[in-house]
Amino acid sequence: MANSNNPWDMDDMPEKKEKVVQFKKITVPKNPQTPFSFGLIVLIVIVIWILTGFYQVQTNENGVVLRFGKYVDTTEPGLHYHLPYPIETVYKVSMTQERSINLGVNDGNYNRNYRDNSFTESHMLTGDENIVDINLTIVWRIKNAKDFLFNMREPEATVRVAAQSVLREIVGQSQMMPIISGDRGKVEDDTKAELQRVLDDFGSGVEIVRVKLQKADPPQQVVDAFNEVQRAKADKERFKNEAEAYRNEVVPNAKGKASQILQSAEAYKEAVVNKATGEADRFNSVYKAYQKGPDVTIRRLYIETMEDVLQKSDKVIIDPSSKGSNLLPVLPLNPIK
């Protein structure tokens, strides 16, 4: 191979051969600490992952624990532990926060099908077939975290729709004037009670704190006509009150006079009857005396009659047969004037 024309012949190229040999001896050094470092990192990661299971529930919250998406437990305020994610997860729900919903505020979508844009969700039909414009505020909070999270897809929207339905039912059973003029407490109480019953039937986990009727007026389009009607009703009440006052004044006077006349007639009746009864009794007694002694009775009647007739006379009757100075009045009925 000495006469070979191969330029890579190692025998003819000692320098190149040496270089190639050196190249073949190059090897990758081994690190004996690599397995230990990797295991330490994995251990640290596992410890951190386990520690992520601790969680704190505040005093105004409840914790809802899910295991692979399924409800497991509800935890009270305090420090708790759950299996780390993704095995278990915790949702913290505020139990004391009060949320509010306003009904009767137009959001621009309710009346999109009306050309004149005159009707909103606040317009409701009353039991006497009138339209009233109502603005109602509902304040609510969560009373059961599990039911609130899993029984309703959109809790706030559900509360709003239920409140609208209940309010329309209550207003539809009521008269317009009590709602507008001041009997709002009944509407608020009835709405709160009925809405709570409906939400409990849904299993919503929501508690209605209070219901406040902010506004209850006739629609803007008929305010002037409504005010005219109210003024007419006020005049009617005023005239009625005036008539009642006149009646209360005249009727008692008439009743008093009628009672006085009746009492006078009763007194006259009693007097006449008593007098007639007395005369009848006197006649009967005289008649009985006459039956027992007619002469004596006739004489007594004569004397009494003459006494009664001559009682008012001023004359003195004397006996004409009397002589001398011995003149005596026979019947000195009255003293001489």
The predicted model gives 16-43 an average pLDDT of 58
- Say whether pLDDT at 35 is over 80: no
- How far apart CA 49 and CA 82 sit, in angstroms, is 11
Q: For 78, left (φ over 0), alpha (ψ -120 to 50), or beta?
A: left
What is the average pLDDT score of the chain? 77
Residue with tokens 């509800």: 74
pTM as predicted? 0.53
The predicted model gives 189-199 an average pLDDT of 90
263 - beta bridge partners?
Answer: none
The predicted model gives 7-34 an average pLDDT of 47
Highest mean pLDDT among 99-113, 139-153, 282-296: 139-153
Query: Are 113 and 192 a contacting pair, CB within 8 Å?
Result: no
Query: How many Cα neighbours within 13 Å face the side chain of 308?
Result: 6
- How far apart CA 86 and CA 55 sit, in angstroms, is 15
Ordered by start, the domain boundaries in the chain are 35-94, 103-110+118-218, 294-337
Query: Are 149 and 91 a contacting pair, CB within 8 Å?
Result: yes
**Identity at 254, one-letter amino acid code:** A
3-state SS assignment for residue 256: helix
Would you identify the CATH topology of the domain 103-110+118-218?
Tetrahydropterin Synthase; Chain A (3.30.479)
- How far apart CA 313 and CA 122 sit, in angstroms, is 103
- How far apart CA 143 and CA 95 sit, in angstroms, is 6
